[in-house]
Amino acid sequence: NAGVTQTPKFRILKIGQSMTLQCTQDMNHNYMYWYRQDPGMGLKLIYYSVGAGITDKGEVPNGYNVSRSTTEDFPLRLELAAPSQTSVYFCASSPQGANEKLFFGSGTQLSVL
Amino acid sequence: TQLLEQSPQFLSIQEGENLTVYCNSSSVFSSLQWYRQEPGEGPVLLVTVVTGGEVKKLKRLTFQFGDARKDSSLHITAAQPGDTGLYLCAGARASGTYKYIFGTGTRLKVLA
């Protein structure tokens, strides 16, 4: 059972470039989340989804877009990358939502230079 | 504005000492979770508390949810080097949405 899989693990972007961070889960979870974690800090919610076709903004959505066409996949799109987006990005999923355990991927370390 | 504030931000203690980490907010949460994160990995769930005043124990770790469901604490008895890591609290708002908001984090280092 792979759980939550994120790709790539590392990426360096130039300012203004775009990229998509991939996240897929094989647990048939309805809820999926994208967080970013700056060095030594807690996690900030970027976007979340409660099911296929439904997404909503979190605490820091500016500069990002998401889609949820299937239950399994929840890609995060960065348009016009900026140095402020240098961070570690974590995708997570949970069966329902409130009171449920979040299952995290291993993260994508992104540097924008 | 950070919804969940953790204190202390950093803590370095000797093996065998006790410690308490606090997670505070002005908002009410339907549930609160504690995670531990090690370098290069995603956070791993330690416990979920859902009832005001609830106390849960996990070996040497004791978790408490405040009566008003606005705060929580994590107490570690006789800390060991294996307890080293970043401790994060996360709350699900009582408004009915399922957004988990994480705290600012407490980085713990236990010296042998």
Residues of B in contact with A102 (CB under 8 A): 33, 35, 43, 45, 90, 100
Residues of A in contact with B86 (CB under 8 A): 40
Nearest to A88 by CA among A5, A2, A4, A9: A9
A61-90 pLDDT, tens digit each: 999 999 999 999 999 999 899 999 999 999
Angle CA A67–A2–B59, to nearest 5: 110
pLDDT band at B98 (very low <50, low <70, confident <90, very high): low
Query: Which is more confidently placed, B5 or A100?
Result: B5
